[in-house]
Structure 1
């Protein structure tokens, strides 16, 4: 091993120390230990021997050459030296500086291009407008709920996803993205913190939690406050949109409770398992209430916790059973017409402003079944008032009551009907089930 030295000091003692530090024998072993050299020259407190020597000498390893120009590689301490010639993966100082300068210029060019594109993007965004009298009913409720969650940021300035935490118990970002994708809110790069937007490959990416959003201006040039006030007088007509929004919110309400219960018992569910449960719950909410599904979650999570303590089981295996247990539990409830219990809302589990707005407009809460919400939405939008809606039930009801009176079981029939409705059945399915029982 040979080290070529470029000494930068004229002090004889320092030169002697440098040579002794780098001196090696024929086998490449250093002749003196670092600990033995430490007291030769007095150094300032906190200064190491390696850094002291590095300030007074440049050392080049003759066994390592630059991959670009074949010059010797500079080393900073003994551990970087090679005993035999080896292919280096490093550049010499000059080539590294040149490469760093090229990279710096490239980053500068990218930053300039990013700024140019963001300015152009902001210019296009600022020219957009929306006719708020034409937006769908579900987006109206979302805007009213968002305004309540972040007042006055929606109508006076910008806001981030972090500002919207009060909107819903869970999946707040998804609700906000519904408005962004609908073109009702836009992101404002001019108000975002530095570093929010960046290059990844050849595309502009963003840190979603740092993006600043604002309401798109009104096509009629009304202020944002006037727009929100006008939405309060909305006449609702889209039953499907309103019911789907209730489902979105209710899924978030159920999944927040699931997350709390899983945290309590240290169950860790994968993203795929959570998506499976979300799908199951959304389907179940078309029939049952949020509070009833909380009771299902409570039971299943505790069953999994008990399972985790059994022989040949562990917590990850037990947690993996939760999606299937929820699905089978609901299948049994439906098949056997079991009346689900309703759980009360936990103190640490707030409603969210979207739930409050849905409650005020539809008269629903966590105890409202999917069937009930569907009926209320149809009534609110005028779709439950058509003559055909009641006419379809006239004949089945007449037949059912005729049989009940003939057999003198009308009281039993009415009690069973109320039981099925409480269990989440709609009127039509409840009548059909009782009729089949009476005819069997």
Structure 2
């Protein structure tokens, strides 16, 4: 290691101190310690030896060469020297300043381009309108719930995802994204905080939690309040869309409870594991209620907590068993026709305004099974009385009643039918199960 010095003083004592400070042996080790050199010359109070020398000398490390102009790199103190050339050399001061200036110009250009694009985007957004009388039922229900969650912001100003926390127990951003992708709520870049939109490579990205949204204007120029009133008065016809919204909401309700239970026992699940559980729960909710699946979560999480205390196990390993345990538990329940217990709603797990709107519209809550929700939605949308449904049930019902009356068990059959419906079975499956029991 060799240090090239540019002496800026004519004082012999200072020159000697500088040379002794930077002197090294053949292996690159400094010949004298800094602590031994500090008392050789009088310095102002508070001035360090390195600072004193730096004011009177420019030092350059011959092992560090600017890759751009081949100049030696200036060093400020001993710690910046290198015994061998570095694998990734750094630029000298002048080249670094030039590079920084070029980068700054590029950033200014990109900032101007970003501003231009956002202005153009905002202009296009301002021309978009929606025919709210034609939107799907599930989107209408979601808008009604959103209005309750952020009143009066939906109709009188902008809002962020953070403002919508009361919409659902979990996945609020996903529900808002549904409305954004449908064009019912629009981005409002002019109201967003600086830094919300930024460049990533050659693409514009955004911080979702900072994006400001607003309700898209109506095609017929109705006011926002009129839009909400018209949505409240609509006749629902889309059973499949409403049922899928109920499933989305119910999954959020179950997963919020799962998150709280895992936090209680310090179980940490990966995104992949959470997605696996969401898929399992969504399928299970077509049959069971939210409150019944809470009981499954409660049992499985506690089993995992107990497993974590066993020899050769730890919390990460125990937590990793949760997705599989939930799936196997539900498979056993279905295979052995086990009746799941129902848990009461925890105080720290509110239903959210979407749950309230679904409850008022459909008559559902956390105790409503998937079968029952499907039946209620069919009644609401007028599909339960369709000719095809009646035709399917006509013969099985006639056969069931004939057998029941012939065996004088009509009242027993009706009581059992009511019990199955309350448990969440649809009419067809209830009739089939009672018929099989009578014939066996």
Tell me if 1:263 matches 2:263: yes
User: How far did residue 397 of structure 1 move?
Assistant: 2.2
Structure 1 unaligned residues grouped into runs of 5+ = none
What is the TM-score with the length of structure 1 in the denominator?
Answer: 0.93
Count of residue pairs the alignment pairs up: 439
Judged with a 3 Å threshold, the aligned counterparts in structure 2 of structure 1 residues 26 and 389 are, in CA distance, closer, same or farther, namely: closer
C-alpha displacement of 1:16: 4.6
SS at 1:4 equivalent = strand
Structure 1 position 406, deviation (Å): 3.1
Q: Does 1:189 align with 2:217?
A: no
Q: CA deviation at 1:309?
A: 2.2
Q: What's the TM-score once normalised by structure 2's chain length?
A: 0.93
User: Any stretches of 5+ residues in structure 2 without a counterpart?
Assistant: none
Q: Give the direction of change, closer, same or farther, for the CA distance of 1:277–1:48 in structure 2 (3 Å limit).
A: same
- Mapped to 1, the partners of 2:86 and 2:406 lie a distance apart of 102
Map of 2:42 onto structure 1: 41
Q: 2 CA distance for matches of 1:28 and 1:357?
A: 76
Counterparts in 2 of 1:420 and 1:230: CA distance versus 1, 3 Å:
closer
Shift of 1:388: 4.0
Indicate the RMSD between aligned Cα atoms, in angstroms: 2.2
Distance in 1, Cα, partners of 2:25 & 2:338: 88
**Deviations for 1:88-129, whole angstroms, at most 9, x for unmatched residues?**
712222212111111111111111111111111111111111
1:392 — aligned with what?
A: 392
CA distance in 2, matches of 1:86, 1:136: 63
| 1:374 correspondence with 2:374 | yes
Change (3 A) 1:349 1:16: same
Q: 1:384 to 1:415 in 2, by over 3 A?
A: closer
Corresponding residue for residue 213 of structure 2: 213
5 Å matches for 1:289-304?
A: 289-304=289-304
Residue of structure 2 equivalent to 1:139: 139
Distance in 2 (CA, whole Å) between partners of 1:330 and 1:84 is 64
Once the two structures are overlaid, the 10-residue window that deviates more, 401-410 or 324-333, is: 401-410
Deviations 1:121-174 (A, max 9, x none): 111111111111111111111111111111121112211111111110000000
How far residue 204 of structure 1 moved from its aligned partner, in angstroms, is: 0.7
Deviation at 1:68, TM superposition (A): 1.4
Indicate if the aligned counterparts of 1:171 and 1:252 stay in contact, CA closer than 8 A. yes
Asked if 1 retains the 8 angstrom alpha-carbon contact of 2:154 and 2:215, the reply is yes
For 1:412 and 1:152, the matched residues in 2 are separated by: 53
In 2, the alpha carbon distance for the partners of 1:179 and 1:287 equals 27
- 1:235 match: 235
